[in-house]
Structure 1
Amino acid sequence: MPVPARLPSWAWVSGLTVGAVAAVTALAVQADQGPRPTAAAAEPSPSASADAHPAPKETAPAPVPDGSGTGRRVVYSVGQDRVWLVDASDAARRSFTVWPGTVDPDPGKYSVGTRRQDPTTGSDGVQVEQIMYFAQEDGVWVAFSNAVDGSSPPPASAGAKTGGIRLPKADGDALWAFGTSGTTVTVVE
């Protein structure tokens, strides 16, 4: 009686690896075709300052404002103190409230210009990071940023001109990943 030939161990390992890769690929394709989560705003961290005002708690995602354009963009509402990250299909992927500076940009279309990821000291004395400049108003640069420690900004001194639009840390991370240089920023009332 002939003895069956044994497969070398490398053949077993290769076969199992190919099978595992095929299974993971099939699961990834299936997951990609599933439902998408809706945008949810993160609750900001407690303030480092007793006088700072926390952003309001979210109850439902806010709709993207009418007249904010089309296509992939960041939308900032001066009146609502809110930002939307809108994808190319005009769907809001994330929306969150922000703490504005004392200088608001005029309504219109801008582009993300200079980006600075490394921490630096903001005009309010707080360590900020992920700074994304997009406008200049009254000689003051307007930019999105988040505090390194995730805190809300302290109240501005009387007469101070600050253009920093502060975001909660998780939202700052999301905006940094979404708003590459050249990304459109639409400012609305």
Structure 2
Amino acid sequence: MHARRRTPTWAWVSALTVAALVAVAVLAVQARGKVPEGGLASARPSASPSAGSADGKSGTPRPTPKQENAVPEDSGEGRRVVYSLGQRRVWLVGENELPLRTFAVWPGGVAPAEGEHKVSTRRAAGNGSDGVPVEHVVYFANTEGVWVAFSHAADGAAPTSSPEGRGGAVRTRPADGEALWEFAATGTPVRVVG
């Protein structure tokens, strides 16, 4: 008869460590696969406005991990657009209260009133109040008889005129404007904060 040999402790610890790492990897892959269709794809939030890519298309909304760009408190609940006048920044917030995308904007000379607004109408293209051809125009407020809308220059250029010359235009980079266009259908809440 042969005597039974015990498996060394180091072998058990190594096997359990490998099993734990495999389990974490499997869970990470599964979590990554549960992204809603059409959202959270390839674009990264921008820290500041820029001309964007040559074609102005860099994908659809993606989660924003940076805490310094957290959604402002008291900015409403549910799926919405949040526009901070003080930070000159927009957030696209999903139903789960997590930001899908955030980006800096160039505000116009006429600021919308703080509070709750809704996307009232949209235009695929046109000319801004400064005469610049614009795309993805999303109207959400009317202040002192001036319509306030998000848009981006058709050629992707940053605004060159003063904010006053742009009236109620809140300009974005092309990729950000396209993401906002896809996110904000007519009736979507837009919360303006200070």
Q: TM-score when scaled to structure 2?
A: 0.68
Rounded Cα–Cα distance in structure 2 between residues aligned with 1:65 and 1:38? 24
Which residue of 1 is the match for residue 113 of structure 2? 106
The amino acid across from 2:44 in the alignment is: A
- In 2 relative to 1, CA 150–75 (structure 1 residues): closer, same or farther, beyond 3 Å? same
Cα deviation, residue 106, structure 1 = 1.1
Rounded Cα–Cα distance in structure 2 between residues aligned with 1:128 and 1:33? 35
Which residue of 1 is the match for residue 146 of structure 2? 140
Which residue of 2 is the match for residue 49 of structure 1? none
| 8 Å contact kept, 1:124–1:156 | no
Rounded Cα–Cα distance in structure 2 between residues aligned with 1:132 and 1:60? 26
Cα deviation, residue 29, structure 1 = 7.4
The amino acid across from 2:87 in the alignment is: Q
Which residue of 2 is the match for residue 45 of structure 1? 51
- 5 Å-filtered alignment, 1:52-131, equals 60=66, 62-117=69-124, 119-131=125-137
The amino acid across from 1:41 in the alignment is: P
Rounded Cα–Cα distance in structure 2 between residues aligned with 1:150 and 1:40? 17
- After superposition, the CA RMSD in angstroms is 2.8
Residues 9-57 of structure 1 deviation map (CA, whole Å, 9 limit, x = unaligned): xxxxxxxxxxxxxxxxxxx9785248x78983236217xxxxxxxxxxx
- In 2 relative to 1, CA 38–122 (structure 1 residues): closer, same or farther, beyond 3 Å? closer
Q: Which runs of 5+ in 1 are unaligned?
A: 1-27, 47-58
Rounded Cα–Cα distance in structure 2 between residues aligned with 1:30 and 1:85? 21
Q: TM-score when scaled to structure 1?
A: 0.70
- 5 Å-filtered alignment, 1:142-157, equals 142-156=148-162
The amino acid across from 1:144 in the alignment is: F
The amino acid across from 1:40 in the alignment is: R
The DSSP-based 3-state class of the residue aligned with 1:175 is: helix
Cα deviation, residue 76, structure 1 = 0.1
- Correspondence for 1:166 among 161, 168, 171: 171
- In 2 relative to 1, CA 92–139 (structure 1 residues): closer, same or farther, beyond 3 Å? same
Cα deviation, residue 123, structure 1 = 1.2
Rounded Cα–Cα distance in structure 1 between residues aligned with 2:75 and 2:42? 20
| 8 Å contact kept, 1:124–1:154 | no
1:32 aligns with 2:33: yes
Residues 66-125 of structure 1 deviation map (CA, whole Å, 9 limit, x = unaligned): 0001100000000100000000010000000000000101110000011001x2111112
